Structure formats: structure tokens, C-alpha cells
Amino acid sequence: MTATPPSPPADHACRPGIPFSFELYPPKTDAAATALHGTIDALADARPEFISVTYGASGSSRTSSLDVLRYIRRATTVDPMAHLTCVGSSPRRAA
């Protein structure tokens, strides 16, 4: 007799009690920013613990990162989180 493992729920990534999050990179164009808003809305529907936005990676615009974080805060019920990237930054700039 062999035991058959239980099948995972259809939406196993969103099971209650298992925390998860999403990380986004800031958009580089206005068109990408508009598209990202729709993506954020869809991701928020999965009820993650938070959505992080990489802040200042590889010289990306810190302003666009802040814009995305503000959108998450304003348009969803998910906590936004700035994921600071300090590589290549002076200690003063990273603070």
C-alpha cells in the first residue's frame, strides 16, 4: 500500500499563515510606470505581507522608487518597504 501525498491547494502561494512578499524594481519610463501600477494592484490582491521596491540600485532613480512606494501606500492596503541598496554609495549618502 502506498500513500498518496495530499494535493496542494489550487492557489498554494496564497495559503493563510504563510507569509510572502514581492519585490519590484522602479520603472525607467513613464509607460513602464503606468504598467507597473496595474501589476501592483494585481499583486496586492494576493495579500502579501509587504511589497518592497529596490531603492537606488545600480544608479536607478531614487525619485521613481519613492513614486512607486507612494503609489503602493496610497492605492493598496499592503505595507510598502524601501529596499535600500547601498553598494556604490558613500556612508553619508546611504544614511
Instruction: State how far the Cα of 79 lies from the Cα of 50, in Å rounded to an integer.
Output: 5
Q: Are 41 and 62 in contact (CB under 8 A)?
A: no
Q: Are 48 and 78 in contact (CB under 8 A)?
A: yes
Set 23, 41, 45, 49: catalytic member:
23
Q: Taking Cα atoms as reference points, which of 92, 94, 33, 14 lies closest to residue 53?
A: 33
Active-site annotation holds for 23? yes
| Residues classed as catalytic | 23
